[in-house]
């Protein structure tokens, strides 16, 4: 039996997690998810990455929108706008149920992990999904237009402002959850999903105790580049790499994982970078990493499992 831990942010991570979930038994896979994009909107606790992974694994995600639930409608938000609310953070009517449910439970004193377990149960997700921490941690983006929360940067300003630095407010007071710790102790494979290294994986790594757990781990750590052919499959990874002064390439990403991963997977289109990345001290594998079909998700997951044994 395998014991695979996948670290994931939003869409890219969710795709690979889905691939794993279709070839591993429920007790062979744990997905640890970034919670630093969480925020309160309209009084509700929204957990964008947890929901993206959860909806994706449940087969109910809205693939066209790239977030939320399929067959969605937006009547409540429309009405809130009529009431004069600057409702720039869009939430669907079905999605709202998730946030109402979560907020009520959290306000009653339950943890994000407990809520996540209840929601995944209800949605029929059998593989384990864990928030990295139950404590508040918030990505803050310092830009040329000032400091802003992740959602202000990502949704309200459509990633337009030039990023100067990224920090994770509250991370110093976070603790990794017991379940997260246990999964890290027992894992025999660690996968850094093709998520944004700065916005999705760095906050996970910033939670006190997380890096220390990796230090005492002797198994394989494999990262998949979210940059393919110099472009991000989705989201602002390429723009942020450039603005923070890094190479906009899988090599630029690989440098972020030095000391963390021993295997780095790049796309066939980036085969020319193999040697440069190897010179960072990583073993490099080349395969098709762009996951559109279900089959492609499973193939990448299978490839990772194969090279890790």
Is 119 a binding residue for its own copies by CB under 8 A? The answer is: yes
Is 94 a binding residue for its own copies by CB under 8 A? The answer is: yes
Q: Contact region for its own copies (CB under 8 A) — 93-101, 162-170, 213-221, 250-258? A: 93-101
167 bridge partner residues: 140
Query: Residue 198 is encoded by which pair of tokens?
Result: 């700065």
Q: How far apart are CA 52 and CA 33, in angstroms?
A: 10
Query: In this structure, how many other beta carbons lie within 10 angstroms of the beta carbon of residue 287?
Result: 15
* 103/167 with CB nearer its own copies: 103
Q: How far apart are CA 185 and CA 187, in angstroms?
A: 6
Is 79 a binding residue for its own copies by CB under 8 A? The answer is: yes
- The distance of closest approach from Cβ of residue 102 to its own copies in the complex, given in angstroms and rounded to an integer, is 10
Q: Which of 75, 164, 211, 288 binds its own copies (CB under 8 A)?
A: 75
The number of residues that bind its own copies (CB under 8 A) is 27
Is 114 a binding residue for its own copies by CB under 8 A? The answer is: no
* 76/149 with CB nearer its own copies: 76
Question: DSSP class of residue 23?
Answer: H
Query: Residue 44 is encoded by which pair of tokens?
Result: 């509700």
Q: Which of 26, 66, 73, 156 binds its own copies (CB under 8 A)?
A: 73
Is 177 a binding residue for its own copies by CB under 8 A? The answer is: no
Is 107 a binding residue for its own copies by CB under 8 A? The answer is: yes
Q: Which of 93, 114, 247, 262 binds its own copies (CB under 8 A)?
A: 93
> Maximum CA pair distance of the chain?
58
Q: What is the CA radius of gyration of the chain?
A: 19
263 bridge partner residues: 222, 283
Q: Contact region for its own copies (CB under 8 A) — 96-104, 149-157, 212-220, 250-258? A: 96-104
31 bridge partner residues: 6, 129
Query: What are the start-end ranges of the E strands in 96-170?
Result: 128-131, 138-143, 146-149, 163-169
Residues found near its own copies in the complex (CB under 8 A):
42-44, 73, 75-80, 82-85, 93-94, 96-98, 100-101, 103-104, 107, 118-119, 122
């Amino acid at each position: 039996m395998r014991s695979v831990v996948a670290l994931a942010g939003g869409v890219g991570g969710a795709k690979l997690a889905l691939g794993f979930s279709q070839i591993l038994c429920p007790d062979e896979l744990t997905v640890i998810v970034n919670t630093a994009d969480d925020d309160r909107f309209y009084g509700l606790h929204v957990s964008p990455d947890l929901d993206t992974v959860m909806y994706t694994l449940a087969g109910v995600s809205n693939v066209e929108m790239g977030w939320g639930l399929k067959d969605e409608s937006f009547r409540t938000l429309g009405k809130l706008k009529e009431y004069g609310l600057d409702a720039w953070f869009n939430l669907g009517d079905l999605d709202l149920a998730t946030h109402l449910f979560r907020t009520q439970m959290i306000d009653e004193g339950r943890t994000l992990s407990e809520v996540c377990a209840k929601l995944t149960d209800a949605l029929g997700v059998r593989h384990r999904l864990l928030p990295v921490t139950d404590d508040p941690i918030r990505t803050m983006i310092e830009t040329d237009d000032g400091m802003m929360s992740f959602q202000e940067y990502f949704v309200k300003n459509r990633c337009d402002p030039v990023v100067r630095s990224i920090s994770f407010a509250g991370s110093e007071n976070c603790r990794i959850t017991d379940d997260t710790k246990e999964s890290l102790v027992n894992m025999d494979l660690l996968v850094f999903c093709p998520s944004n290294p700065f916005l999705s994986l760095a906050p996970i790594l910033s939670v006190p105790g997380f890096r220390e757990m990796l230090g005492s781990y002797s198994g394989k750590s494999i990262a998949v580049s979210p940059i393919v052919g110099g472009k991000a499959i989705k989201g602002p990874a390429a723009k942020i790499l450039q603005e923070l002064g890094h190479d906009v390439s899988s090599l630029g990403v690989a440098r972020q994982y030095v000391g963390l991963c021993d295997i780095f997977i790049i796309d066939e289109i980036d085969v020319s970078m193999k040697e440069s990345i190897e010179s960072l001290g990583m073993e490099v594998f080349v395969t098709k990493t762009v996951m559109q079909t279900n089959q492609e998700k499973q193939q990448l997951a299978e490839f990772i499992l194969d090279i890790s044994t």
